[in-house]
């Protein structure tokens, strides 16, 4: 991308998006970063307070489902790069409201693709549409094996089906209209600023408040965890050095059974909170399983490693400590998002 290139990051007020926005704003002072976010329950401008006054950064509140608004936005800014993270992202919510996931994840992505195509159709040179996706599109693994970029798509939840669909549309726009694109499919992220409905921040919050830790089923489900800041680094690398039309798997090389992860978290939290070891483990409560619960995700990240030289920079033990420290040091953030107070922040800041 050339200096002063206008770059759109969607979903930049969410968990991963805020780390991507901060990474790009700090590292690339010559880009014009525009963060578009609808500020749903998962979007929080407090995540971005440290960069909100940077000259190369602008926040715009808006919905990727609003066709006229998106067209107008692309006409005004003529984005040369798009890094698309905005999505409904929580599997459990997708089970109760699948349509909301189709609207944002499928139709919203199509609106962005159409707007990008409309402004650059006659000359896509040096332009890029980067779609951020998930390993969940591949479905589930058995006890062995890894997801590679060649693994067939077989999504099992409304969330992963909607992400799979958006991946297919991005690829189809590349094939049909020669739109330059890259896609990355990443494993489970953890770290600062994650909304406390996902496993790790929910359990940190519950341990603080001595509330039950609801482990689904028998807890023998496996996820491959990646520290969010390492994901942001991989996104930078793929955006700048990824090959047009390629998919990259990103993973933490770090598989944990939920129950083992929860026990480690309990231990680390007991140490940090000055509680006796074993105290938080007593909060573990096995609850009814999630319907269609995928048994195991694990990523083969050898392509991004060999082609772009990427690998995670922190171990899980280090990353988890950093994450716990962040949540314990930011109790106000946690209280705001759990009470809904964070919505007032936007009013105060932008009214």
Applying CB under 6 A, the span of 35-43, 141-149, 258-266, 279-287 interacting with ligand NAD comes to 35-43
List residues binding ligand TYD (CB under 6 A). Answer: 91, 188, 198-199, 202, 214-216, 221, 223, 258, 290
How many CA atoms does the CB half-sphere of 4 hold within 13 Å?
1
Nearest to 157 by CA among 92, 206, 85: 92
CA–CA distances in Å: residue 235 to residues 51, 201, 296: 19, 23, 24
CB 7 within 8 A of CB 1: yes
Token reading at 349: 């800041």
Q: From ligand NAD, ligand TYD, none, which one binds at residue 191 (CB under 5 to 8 Å depending on kind)?
A: none
* Minimal distance, residue 255 CB to ligand NAD, in Å: 15
Which of 31, 57, 138, 159 is catalytic? The answer is 159
42 binds ligand NAD per the rule CB under 6 A: yes
CA–CA distance, 92 with 195 (Å, rounded to integer): 13
Nearest to 172 by CA among 118, 245, 121: 245
> Is the Cβ of residue 22 or residue 163 nearer to ligand NAD in the bound state?
163
13 binds ligand NAD per the rule CB under 6 A: yes
Which of 136, 167, 230, 255 is catalytic? The answer is 136
* Minimal distance, residue 290 CB to ligand TYD, in Å: 6
Which of 135, 167, 224, 230 is catalytic? The answer is 135
CA–CA distance, 319 with 286 (Å, rounded to integer): 26
* Residue 135 is a catalytic residue: yes
* Residue 190 is a catalytic residue: no
132 binds ligand NAD per the rule CB under 6 A: yes
CA–CA distance, 210 with 302 (Å, rounded to integer): 41
Q: Which residue has the tokens 């028998």?
A: 218
* Residue 341 is a catalytic residue: no
CA–CA distance, 336 with 40 (Å, rounded to integer): 14
Among 8, 86, 283, 298, binds ligand NAD (CB under 6 A): 86
Q: From ligand TYD, ligand NAD, none, which one binds at residue 38 (CB under 5 to 8 Å depending on kind)?
A: ligand NAD
Among 21, 64, 237, 262, binds ligand NAD (CB under 6 A): 64
Tell me the three state secondary structure of residue 198: coil
CA–CA distance, 341 with 89 (Å, rounded to integer): 21
Strands 255-257 and 222-227: antiparallel
Among 8, 85, 137, 304, binds ligand NAD (CB under 6 A): 85
CB 147 within 8 A of CB 300: yes
Residue of closest CB approach to ligand NAD = 14
* Minimal distance, residue 59 CB to ligand NAD, in Å: 11
* Minimal distance, residue 18 CB to ligand TYD, in Å: 17
87 binds ligand NAD per the rule CB under 6 A: yes
Applying CB under 6 A, the span of 40-48, 113-121, 238-246, 279-287 interacting with ligand NAD comes to 40-48
Nearest to 90 by CA among 109, 105, 73, 79: 105
Nearest to 173 by CA among 85, 125, 112: 112
Could you give the residue numbers annotated as active site?
Answer: 135-136, 159
Chain residues in the site for ligand NAD (CB under 6 A): 10-11, 13-17, 37-40, 42-43, 63-65, 85-89, 104, 108, 132, 134, 163, 186, 188-189, 195
């Amino acid at each position: 991308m050339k200096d002063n290139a206008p770059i759109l990051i969607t979903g930049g007020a969410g968990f991963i998006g805020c780390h991507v926005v901060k990474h790009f704003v700090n590292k690339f002072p010559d880009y014009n970063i525009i963060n578009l976010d609808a500020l749903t329950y998962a979007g929080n401008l407090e995540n971005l307070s440290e960069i909100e006054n940077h000259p190369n950064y602008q926040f715009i509140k808006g919905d990727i489902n609003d066709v006229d608004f998106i067209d107008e936005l692309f006409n005004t800014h003529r984005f040369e790069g798009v890094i698309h993270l905005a999505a409904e992202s929580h599997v459990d919510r997708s089970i109760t409201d699948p349509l909301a996931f189709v609207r944002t994840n499928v139709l919203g992505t199509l609106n962005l693709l159409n707007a990008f195509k409309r402004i650059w159709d006659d000359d896509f040179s040096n332009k890029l549409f980067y779609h951020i996706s998930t390993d969940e599109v591949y479905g589930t693994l058995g006890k062995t094996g890894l997801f590679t970029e060649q693994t067939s798509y077989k999504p099992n939840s409304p969330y992963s089906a909607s992400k799979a669909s958006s991946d297919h549309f991005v690829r189809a726009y590349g094939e049909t209209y020669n739109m330059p694109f890259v896609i990355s499919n990443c494993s489970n992220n953890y770290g600062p600023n994650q909304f406390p409905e996902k496993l790790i921040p929910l359990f940190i919050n519950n341990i603080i408040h001595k509330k039950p830790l609801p482990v689904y089923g028998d807890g023998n489900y496996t996820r491959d965890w990646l520290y969010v800041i390492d994901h942001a680094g991989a996104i930078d690398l793929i955006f700048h050095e990824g090959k047009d039309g390629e998919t990259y798997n990103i993973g933490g090389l770090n598989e944990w059974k939920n129950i083992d992860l929860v026990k480690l978290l309990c231990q680390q939290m007991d140490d940090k909170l000055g509680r006796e070891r074993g105290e938080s483990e007593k909060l573990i409560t096995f609850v009814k399983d999630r319907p269609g619960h995928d048994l195991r995700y694990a990523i083969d990240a050898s392509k991004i490693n060999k082609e772009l030289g990427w690998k995670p920079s922190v171990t899980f033990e280090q990353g988890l400590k950093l994450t716990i420290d962040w949540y314990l040091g930011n109790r106000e953030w946690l209280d705001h998002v759990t009470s809904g107070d964070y919505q007032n922040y936007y009013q105060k800041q932008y009214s």
